[in-house]
């Protein structure tokens, strides 16, 4: 007889740590993700995951905590992108691409060195795809503190961030420093990528950042509900992913469990697909009958 | 106090990298007046509006709002920028976006007070945007979005509303509606309106004054004073004719002159 919650599931320390860190990083990612999608900075978010890979693999080589590497490299990378990048969207994309390319090259070097040093490829797997069950309990305080700081900064700049995301021109005319807001947001993005990297791995942290946010934006009409839906969805997919991965030890006779990251990402993808079904998706039609003409006009303009 | 102009642009010059964009431009805007800032693309209309907002360094000259020199953010100014892309991904209803016009520059959270919500309702009614107040901004048509942008700019009760090419990319019916809305903003609500456009004909019935910009220089006055062959010829530096036909105005250069500088007349470009 096999139960979904096997005896020992709730008393297992690694599972408890996974639940806490998974939930905290999912919430931060979801909230930062909503703004990332709104600002059209998904590419920057993805580039930061590559930068985080560099940090994580570098940290392993220098015997540091991967979290320190993820966060440190992310913050440096975000700073580099913002300082190379200019106000223009295209300039920002180019700067992002250049930082991404260099970071990935460094990651290749560190992952090679790590593999040589530990004489196994396990470390690459751990950094790229995560290993939420092997986290050190000592990482919890740092995760919580960084999360609180990030959410605090976002709460502080909430309204200026919102307006400068919609229109930098409108924000600048109100005396908002669009540049400072942009830098603060990039730092928040870097931290959220670092946090989700330890949960689902640096490569898959994009999924936790963009997936719940994009799904929430499909089904809600205002920002508050989008933030709440994205957070709840992030936590639910992470927890269900952990439960399924733990349970998967019993699925095959070899007693080999499947990776948590796979379940989390699969659930996110499933939720995103479901949110596109007719009836789930919020009404997008304009209240006036002129909607088709308008879309033509916009396409032409 | 009432005789102090809402806006004084006083011998303002601006240059980018050695190229003079605005050369000793001067004009006033008074309370409740509708002023058209007319000129073809690239003559410096946006630069001038940015200068009034305090976002552009002046080489010389001064700009005063209600008699006061410019500050970083002047809450007496409302602004509708050119081409605001209200994307379908923006999770905001029209009323949320209008409410941001009250306090977007503030830090931290605060709940909307009853007075603020009432003010948003009132301004949505004023711009005839009530019926789509609960729709997402990204789902609205171009004309509807323009109304929401105007409401966002007006909700903080500015003395002067600046609009950068608000009529570009609108269908003719929406152009008429937005022009008459802005006319009532000026005449009924006493807010001075300064609107830039590359085509003046839609504005002729409502413009109290015109600021005609070309070659970085400007002529201002009533439409009848400014839209004259001799005034505009002096501004262009070569002869132009002003034709008035059926209540419409056409500015035409002599053959051989580069008329790229002349505001476009869409009716004439169709062969």
Distance from CA of A31 to the nearest CA of B (A): 13
Q: Give me the pLDDT at residue A1, please.
A: 56
Contact B150, B191 (CB under 8 A): no
CB contact under 8 A, B84 and A221: no
- Which ipTM score applies to this complex? 0.86
Q: Give me the pLDDT at residue B119, please.
A: 92
Q: Give me the pLDDT at residue A294, please.
A: 38
Contact B5, B48 (CB under 8 A): no
Hey, is the C-beta of A145 within 8 angstroms of any chain B C-beta?
no
CB contact under 8 A, B107 and A172: no
Average pLDDT over residues B143-152: 93
- Give, for all 301 residues of chain A, the pLDDT tens digit: 566 666 666 677 888 888 999 999 999 999 999 999 988 888 888 888 888 888 888 888 888 888 888 888 888 888 887 776 555 556 667 777 888 888 888 888 888 888 888 776 677 777 777 778 878 888 889 889 999 999 999 999 999 999 998 888 899 988 899 889 999 999 999 999 988 888 888 888 889 999 999 999 988 888 999 999 999 999 999 999 999 988 887 887 766 778 888 899 999 999 999 988 876 666 444 444 333 333 333 333 3
Q: Give me the percent of chain B exceeding a pLDDT of 70.
A: 93
Distance from CA of B145 to the nearest CA of A (A): 11
Residues of chain B with CATH 3.40.50.300: 1-76+159-271
Task: State how far the Cα of A193 lies from the Cα of B154, in Å rounded to an integer.
Answer: 39
Residues in chain B: 271
CB-CB neighbors (< 8 A) of B72 in chain A: 175
Q: Give me the pLDDT at residue B209, please.
A: 92
Q: How far is the CA of A135 from the CAs of A5, A67, B32, B192, in angstroms?
A: 21, 10, 66, 63
Task: State how far the Cα of A265 lies from the Cα of B1, in Å rounded to an integer.
Answer: 65
CATH class of segment(s) B1-76+159-271 = alpha beta
CB contact under 8 A, A298 and B53: no
CB-CB neighbors (< 8 A) of B106 in chain A: 159-160
Q: Tell me the pLDDT of chain B averaged across its residues.
A: 86
To the nearest 10°, report the CA torsion of B56, B59, B61, B67: 30
CB contact under 8 A, A158 and B97: no
Better-scored residue on pLDDT, A232 or B90: A232
Using one digit for the tens of pLDDT, what is the confidence trace for B22-71? Answer: 999 999 999 999 999 988 887 889 999 999 998 888 999 999 998 888 87
Q: Give me the pLDDT at residue A152, please.
A: 95
Hey, is the C-beta of B3 within 8 angstroms of any chain A C-beta?
no
Q: Give me the pLDDT at residue A236, please.
A: 96
DSSP B171-218: -HHHHHHHHHHHHHHHHHH--EEEEEES--GGGTTT-SEEEEEETTEE
Using one digit for the tens of pLDDT, what is the confidence trace for B159-175? Answer: 999 999 999 888 889 99
Average pLDDT over residues B183-208: 90
CB contact under 8 A, A157 and B107: yes
| 8-state DSSP, B26 | E
CB contact under 8 A, A284 and B104: no
User: Is pLDDT of B157 > 80?
Assistant: yes
What's the CATH number of domain A13-282, 3.40.50.2000, 3.60.15.10, 1.10.3470.10, 3.30.930.10?
1.10.3470.10
Hey, is the C-beta of A253 within 8 angstroms of any chain B C-beta?
no
Q: How far is CA A255 from the centre of its chain?
A: 30
């Amino acid at each position: 007889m096999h139960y979904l919650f096997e005896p020992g599931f709730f008393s297992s320390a690694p599972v408890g740590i996974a639940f806490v860190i998974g939930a905290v990083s999912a919430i931060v990612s979801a909230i930062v993700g909503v703004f990332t999608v709104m600002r059209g900075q998904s590419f920057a978010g993805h580039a930061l995951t590559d930068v985080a890979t560099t940090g994580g693999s570098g940290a392993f080589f220098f015997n540091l905590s991967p979290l320190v590497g993820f966060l440190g490299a992310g913050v440096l990378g975000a700073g580099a992108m913002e300082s190379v990048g200019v106000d223009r969207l295209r300039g920002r994309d180019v700067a992002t691409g250049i930082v991404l390319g260099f970071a990935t090259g460094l990651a290749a070097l560190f992952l090679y060195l790590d593999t040589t040093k530990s004489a196994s490829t396990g470390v690459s797997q751990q950094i790229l795809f995560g290993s939420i069950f092997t986290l050190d309990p000592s990482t919890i305080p740092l995760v919580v503190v960084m999360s609180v700081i990030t959410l605090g900064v976002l709460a502080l700049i909430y309204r200026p961030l919102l307006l400068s995301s919609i229109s930098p021109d409108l924000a600048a005319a109100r005396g908002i420093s669009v540049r400072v807001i942009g830098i603060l947001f990039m730092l928040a993005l870097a931290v959220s990528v670092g946090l989700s990297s330890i949960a689902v791995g640096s490569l898959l942290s994009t999924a936790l950042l963009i997936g719940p946010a994009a799904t929430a934006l499909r089904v809600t009409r205002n920002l508050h509900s989008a933030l709440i839906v994205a957070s709840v969805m992030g936590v639910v997919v992470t927890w269900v992913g952990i439960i399924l991965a733990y349970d998967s030890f019993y699925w095959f006779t070899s007693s080999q469990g499947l990776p948590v990251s796979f379940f989390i990402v699969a659930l996110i993808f499933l939720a995103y697909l479901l949110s596109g079904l007719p009836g789930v998706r919020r009404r997008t039609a304009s209240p006036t009958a002129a909607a088709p003409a308008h879309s033509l006009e916009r396409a032409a303009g | 106090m009432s005789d102090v102009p809402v806006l004084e642009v006083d011998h303002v010059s601006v240059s980018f990298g050695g190229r003079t964009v605005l050369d000793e431009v001067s004009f006033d805007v008074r309370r409740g007046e509708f002023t058209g800032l007319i000129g073809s693309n690239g003559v410096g209309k946006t630069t001038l509006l940015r200068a009034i907002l305090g976002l552009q360094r002046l080489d010389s000259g001064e700009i005063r709002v209600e008699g006061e020199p410019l500050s970083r953010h002047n809450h007496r100014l409302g602004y509708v920028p050119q081409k605001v892309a209200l994307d379908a991904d923006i999770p905001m209803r029209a009323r949320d976006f209008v409410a941001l016009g009250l306090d977007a520059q503030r830090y931290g959270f605060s709940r909307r007070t009853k007075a603020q919500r009432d003010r948003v309702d009132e301004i949505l009614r004023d711009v005839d945007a009530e019926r789509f107040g609960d729709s997402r901004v990204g789902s609205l048509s171009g004309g509807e979005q323009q109304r929401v942008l105007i409401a966002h700019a007006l909700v903080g009760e500015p003395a002067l509303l600046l609009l950068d090419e608000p009529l570009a990319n609108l269908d003719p019916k929406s152009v008429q509606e937005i022009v008459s809305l802005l006319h009532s903003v000026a005449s009924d609500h006493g807010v001075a309106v300064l609107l830039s456009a590359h085509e003046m004909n839609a504005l002729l019935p409502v413009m109290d004054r015109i600021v005609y910009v070309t070659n970085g220089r400007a002529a201002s006055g009533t439409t009848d004073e400014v839209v004259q062959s001799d005034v505009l010829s002096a501004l262009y530096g070569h002869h132009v004719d002003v034709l008035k036909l059926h209540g419409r105005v056409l500015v035409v250069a002599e053959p051989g002159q580069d008329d790229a500088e002349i505001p476009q007349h869409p009716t004439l470009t169709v062969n």
